[in-house]
Amino acid sequence: MDCIFCKITNKEMPSDVVYEDNKIIAFKDINPKAPVHFLIIPKKHIPSVNHIEIQDKTLIGELILAVQKIAKEKGLKGYKILINVGREGGQIIDHLHLHLIAGSKNTKIQE
């Protein structure tokens, strides 16, 4: 499958990993929109929020818990979690990912 984030998961493509466990990997966004900008993804290829199925519900919770762990480890006092869904929602990569964004009080997400 020609998916950049699957390639990052499989280490076929390099990335700056900030967290990893058996189901999840998180890495620095290549084009950060704020001083802190990480992407948290399931290793399983789920194209978008619209493709999440009931059997993924534990995994989705674990993605949020991974964000919590990363934020704590990085000493982030506050942050934003963003998920773009579909082209009209700003999604470019069709592999589910949470953006963890921090480091600027007035961080705004650019389209």
List residues binding Zn ion (CB under 5 A): 3, 5-6, 45, 95
Tell me whether residue 30 or residue 65 sits nearer to ligand 5GP (CB atom): 30
Give CA–CA dist 35/38, Å, rounded: 10
Q: Where are the beta strands (DSSP E) in 12-97?
A: 17-20, 24-28, 36-42, 80-82
- For ligand 5GP, which residue of 35, 64, 90, 109 counts as binding (CB under 6 A)? 90
- For ligand 5GP, which residue of 26, 40, 91, 101 counts as binding (CB under 6 A)? 91
Q: Select the binding partner of residue 22 from Zn ion, ligand 5GP, none (C-beta < 5 to 8 A, by kind).
A: none
Beta bridge partners of 81: 100
Nearest Cα neighbor of 9 from 37, 49, 42, 56 is 42
CB of 8 to ligand 5GP, least distance (A): 6
Is residue 99 annotated as a catalytic residue, yes or no?
A: no
Write the binding mask 41 to 80 for ligand 5GP: x where contact by CB under 6 A, - elsewhere: ----------------------------------------
Task: Show the tokens assigned to 24.
Answer: 């999840």
9 binds ligand 5GP (CB under 6 A): no
CA torsion sign, 105 to 69 to 15 to 6? negative
